[in-house]
Amino acid sequence: MKFVFIVQGEGRGHQTQALALSEMLTSNGHEISLALVGTNNPSRIPSLLAEKASFKIETFQSPSLIYNSKTQALSLNKTIRSAVPNTRKYIKSILQIKRAMEICQPDVIINFYDFLGGLYSAFFTNKAKVVCIGHQYLLLNRHFNHPKGHWLDRQIVNFNTKITALGSDKILALSFSEFENDREIITVPPLVRNELIYYSNQDLGYILVYLTQPEMISEFLIYAGHYTHLIFEVFIDKCLAEIPENVRINPISSSAFIQKMAKCKAIISTAGFESVCEAMYLGKPALMVPIKKHYEQLCNALDAQRAGAGIFSKQIDIGSFLTYLQTSKPMSHKIWIHQAEQMFMRELSDEMCIEL
């Protein structure tokens, strides 16, 4: 079978999922003709795909999330104001997707949560089946336990998620653990890359840190200075603050990050789905600190805590995390995650891609 990917390319999450699924598909004799990657800067291929992808990539202009420059919280107003002036560019992007599909003639289109990918599927019909994959689709499941007091945030996130799924023939919701299916939403294990299997899992005593917002790094450095007996390996693009002696700064690198994770004691991270899944696979407990006003990450953190991945905190509470590490044993999630290939091949097989 011939596949074309449409990938929401902001951040590493959906890129990681696309890479993992491509490994499964090609090892089972299928072809990835093209990956269409939505980004706010289509002049360059996102770094993770540029480094790891073995398939052809074409970028297009797509909406992206905007954060407050002072608080680093997710800003819905700025996100909308940034998107509206680019409406014509987004229409061109949808037409670009259409032309690519006419050339490739895929059997199956996989949409990794791209907004314009959903609009393309809604406006244009073709012979290919459309399958949507992402952890956000679990939030549409009636059995999902949403955080209380966030009704409007829930409606906004779910509205965006429903747009990405327009015209789909099947929806596959990635989940930290086994979860009940709901109507057309089929729960499947996380997509983790094969390279995780090859790393020797050790505990060298240090704590791995991956925080995407500068304000959070500044907060972390203050806390780290109070725990001089611990070593922290931190991955960040740049840091202008004064660095305590027990903090080691590493440039962002996908391979180096996984290598460090395999040898760490635990991880402190924002609540991105893929980082938490990788930690779960390697049996590394996580302190999950969602980005402010980022409802999706709040859901991730609470759901991962339910699944036994670690603990959720609104702040970088290293003290509480150390107490957790002393009193709790990490849960193994490999049995669930190792079912991914079998389940995905079943759901993506031609006879299973039926109209809902």
Which CATH number covers residue 309?
3.40.50.2000
Q: Per-residue pLDDT tens for 335-353?
A: 999 999 999 999 998 544 4
N-term to C-term CA, the chain: 21
Rounded mean pLDDT, 82-101: 88
Query: How many CA within 13 A on the CB side of residue 109?
Result: 31
pTM: 0.90
Q: 225 and 172, same structural domain?
A: no
Q: If pLDDT is split at 50, 70 and 90, which confidence band does 94 have?
A: very high
Residue showing tokens 């200075």:
225
Q: 348 and 281, same structural domain?
A: no
Q: 140 and 237, same structural domain?
A: no
Q: 163 and 15, same structural domain?
A: yes
Residue 76 pLDDT greater than 80, yes or no: no
Domain count, the chain: 2
Residue 7 pLDDT greater than 70, yes or no: yes
Question: DSSP readout, 122-172?
Answer: HH---SSEEEEEEGGGGGGSTT--PPTT-HHHHHHHHHHHHHHTTT-SEEE
Which candidate, 109, 151, 154, places its Cα nearest to that of 136?
Answer: 154
User: Cα–Cα distance between 63 and 188 in angstroms, integer?
Assistant: 27
What count of other Cβ atoms lies within 10 Å of the Cβ of residue 98?
A: 14
Q: 273 and 160, same structural domain?
A: no
Contact 62, 9 (CB under 8 A): yes
Task: Report the CATH number at residue 42.
Answer: 3.40.50
Q: 132 and 238, same structural domain?
A: no
Which DSSP helix (H) or strand (E) runs through 33?
strand 31-39
Which DSSP helix (H) or strand (E) runs through 14?
helix 13-27
Q: 130 and 36, same structural domain?
A: yes
Rounded mean pLDDT, 69-74: 54
Contact 270, 213 (CB under 8 A): yes
One-letter amino acid at 15 equals: Q
Q: 295 and 158, same structural domain?
A: no
User: Cα–Cα distance between 1 and 292 in angstroms, integer?
Assistant: 42
For the record, the structure tokens of 35 come out as 């990956």
Strands 247-250 and 232-235: parallel
Q: 132 and 209, same structural domain?
A: no
Residue 355: predicted pLDDT: 43
Residue 248 backbone phi and psi in degrees, to 5? -110, 125
Q: Per-residue pLDDT tens for 101-133?
A: 999 999 999 999 999 999 999 999 778 999 999
Residue 329: predicted pLDDT: 79
Q: 261 and 117, same structural domain?
A: no
Q: Per-residue pLDDT tens for 198-212?
A: 887 899 999 999 987
> In the sheet that 286-288 helps form, which strands lie side by side, from edge to edge?
247-250, 232-235, 207-210, 266-269, 286-288, 310-312
Rounded mean pLDDT, 160-189: 94
Q: 123 and 78, same structural domain?
A: yes
Contact 61, 38 (CB under 8 A): yes
Residue 68 pLDDT greater than 90, yes or no: no
Q: 326 and 344, same structural domain?
A: no
DSSP state, residue 62: -
User: Cα–Cα distance between 287 and 279 in angstroms, integer?
Assistant: 11
Structural domain of 180: 2-189+339-352
Tell me how far the alpha carbon of residue 329 is from its chain's centroid. 25
